[in-house]
Structure 1
Amino acid sequence: MRAPYACQPELSRGRLHDEALSTFRSPWQRDRDRIIHSSAFRRLKHKTQVFVEHEGDYYRTRLTHTIEVAQVARTIAGVLGLDTDLAEAVALAHDLGHPPFGHTGEDALAGLMAPYGGFDHNAQALRIVTRLERHYAGFDGLNLTWETLEGIAKHNGPVAPPWSYALADVNAQWDLELGTNASAEAQVAAVADDVAYNHHDLHDGLRAGLFDEAELAELPLIGPAFAQVDDLYPGLDPMRRRHEALRRVFGVMVEDVIAVAQNRLAASQPRSVDEIRAMDGPIIRFSKPLYQNLKAIKGFLFTRMYRAPTVMVERARVTQMLTELFPLLMDQPALMPEDWQAEIAGAGNDPAHRARVVLDYVAGMTDRFAIAEYHRLIGPSEFA
């Protein structure tokens, strides 16, 4: 039974290109399935979270991260009486626009695209699902519902102008009401993203040897979790001890989000999703005490993981690769595959259009393909 403030599939605003309703699936089940079957979703397998894709088999990729986010989103949405399929669809699509090499790649491409309308991975995800996926006879993109597109655009909150080119382009086709909150389902997907990466980055940092359990024990939330495990299972195998502690941290985050949302929903009594959109801020959030604890953990991870010396070396290398690949392809589009060359030729000599085509091509690369293209087109690098 969906709550009155949930998105109701029978009240969906529909699709940009009209289609007959599915016989067996709701609109958002159909969106979810199209996302899973897209080329961009498959490429997430070889795109990075923090570590470059070739560094090890155990570190999270964008695909494993996305699956974890979708699992958390379904759990929270189900408890709150929201539409679990819409929450899952937004979660599955939220990272489709990430370029190779994680946030390092995004930073590099944002700088390169600054003269041409900018780059943002959320906006690029919209561009992928509205234009760049080209498999259907009747339209470009996946022809997702308005609610799913809204969730991709606004799951992190209202988006103020100036917008990147990709976001402005989609919004011009179909007004996504960028100045309002997203649905509660999309807000759940955003919080699930935070839960997932706060949890798995601790795992990955430990596995990479960037810090150890003794250092984590000094942090709020994590220290008590390790202490609880030690009380319950003295002398536990180190790997099991780590897993038991971090899954407790995971549980605390999920339970906190649910409790806060239930209290806020009970207090405000929203009667529709439009009332959720019109609120002063998100209805789905961490409690203030937990948020402060997570802020301390994120500060630790920023220093010890995201800006660790070994990670910074990789950041410099992959930034150099992209900042050399992008202008080379701008100057010599004949180096790109024929279908991408045709995209550029179709708009004459407009440099902004050329840059957007080159961006779409480069941003769609996996880590391994970007490395291979760098080797092919520019020469040897420090990557094996």
Structure 2
Amino acid sequence: MTDDIHRLPAACAVSNEGPLSERQHLEPPHSYRPAFDRDRARIIHARAFRRLAGKTQVFTHRSSDHFRSRLTHTMEVAQIARTVAATLGLNEPLAESLALVHDIGHPPFGHTGEHALDKALRPYGLRFDHNLHALRIVEYFETSYAGFRGLNLTLGVREGIIKHSRDYSAVEHPELAEYFLDLRPPLEAQLIDVVDEIAYLTADLDDGIEAGILSLEEAASRVTLFRQFWEPMLAKYPDARDKLVFNEALKRMLNALVGDLIAETARRVESAGALSLDAIRHHPERLAALSPEMEALRVEAKAFLSERLYRSPELAEGRSEAEKVVATLFQAWVEEPSRMPAGQLPDVETEGAPRAVADYIAGMTDLYILGRYEEFLDSER
């Protein structure tokens, strides 16, 4: 594979100048940093980004210091996104910015916390969506500038935050009208969802093996894509420790997924004749994707992880505790908002208690919400 084979026409990439590089609040251009480079820096320096270090990916903080956190997962997604974008000739700083911000809206306890918050909000006619919450973070909750609230990110990054993994209906979400809901997102945003899948598929297999929940033998027997590299690496390194042979196989599995994404995305763009950003936006479907053959292998691997890792008895206790903590604190604070810090009370007045409480909880790390939960239990004794 060479860079030339898969590089797309320059017109497919988002330009560093133009409508997508504009901000809500006018700022003078930087003397040497393009707009999307500045976005990347603003995201990295955001408090919400730092808090990702204390939020669950799959294993909680109690499990091991070696397992991925939401932050280290984000860094792995960003690394892969940069590779894909650079190879395809897309806007690398934009792709990296979107990768860095793609999980910033996640609450504590990973997907378990997200589901618990969504369940708690439903009786009030509300929902929790981590993409929409991420937009609220960068537009409202981050307060780093004297002249405006939020990070004042470019339109391209804000559009990508909400559209990288799904499409929103203009009828259901009129508040998102400025984000071109009738158009496909640029390729820089489209690739983030697939890269996210690639990153956590390989990382969760790694962490599951490290935790002893998954075995090498079972992974090799049930995950075809892993077996394709595991068996040759066993033959090549017969005297190496199993963990090192596993690492060699996993690296090649990751490389195969990334290489396929690059090649298939280029193939689809060229086959569709979508050789400009405008054509990509107006295409009937998203163009960043794995090939059908690789997608089938990905689905098989994810099904294995869902059955043997995500729904494993070893993780069940942590999920139950997380659901209980979120549900208990949500209900207590909705019924009595004055239990929250005074700084949260203005949002209760403007947003209503359920949404304000959900926003407050969503910003917490695992350790912080567990501390608040212990304080609540002490106050009830």
1:12 and 2:19 aligned = yes
Deviation at 1:265, TM superposition (A): 2.3
Q: Aligned pair in 2 of structure 1 residues 95, 162: CA closer, same or farther (>3 Å)?
A: farther
1:262 and 2:280 aligned = no
Match for 2:260: what amino acid? D
Q: Secondary structure at the match of 2:166?
A: coil
Matches within 5 A, 1:249-328: 249-328=253-332
Q: Aligned pair in 2 of structure 1 residues 334, 168: CA closer, same or farther (>3 Å)?
A: farther
Cα pair 1:54 1:368 within 8 Å, conserved: no
Cα pair 2:274 2:283 within 8 Å, conserved: no
From 133, 142, 158, the counterpart of 1:149:
158
Cα pair 1:7 1:83 within 8 Å, conserved: yes
Aligned-CA RMSD value: 1.8
Matches within 5 A, 1:73-222: 73-114=81-122, 115-160=124-169, 163=172, 169=175, 171=176, 175-218=178-221, 219-222=223-226
Name the stretch that deviates more: 269-278 or 103-112: 269-278
Quick one: distance in 1 between partners of 2:174 and 2:149? Answer: 17
1:147-203 Cα offsets, whole Å, 9 max, x none, are 10111110113223665xxx654x25xx10123221100112222111100110000
Matched with 1:231 is 235
Deviation at 1:98, TM superposition (A): 0.2
Quick one: distance in 2 between partners of 1:133 and 1:228? Answer: 49
Deviation at 1:116, TM superposition (A): 3.8
Cα pair 2:269 2:275 within 8 Å, conserved: no
Matched with 1:357 is 356
Match for 1:300: what amino acid? F
Deviation at 1:24, TM superposition (A): 1.2
1:4-56 Cα offsets, whole Å, 9 max, x none, are 11000112331111111111111101111100000000000000011122221
Q: Secondary structure at the match of 1:113?
A: helix
Cα pair 2:202 2:250 within 8 Å, conserved: yes
From 49, 59, 75, the counterpart of 1:41:
49
Q: TM-score, normalised by structure 2?
A: 0.93
Q: Secondary structure at the match of 2:259?
A: helix
Deviation at 1:379, TM superposition (A): 4.0
Cα pair 1:157 1:181 within 8 Å, conserved: no
Quick one: distance in 2 between partners of 1:292 and 1:99? Answer: 31
1:339-367 Cα offsets, whole Å, 9 max, x none, are 112332x44xxxx6221111111000000
Match for 1:4: what amino acid? A
Gaps of 5+ in 1: none
Match for 1:119: what amino acid? F
Matched with 2:368 is 369
Quick one: distance in 1 between partners of 2:171 and 2:121? Answer: 14
Q: Secondary structure at the match of 1:158?
A: coil
Identity, in percent, stands at: 38
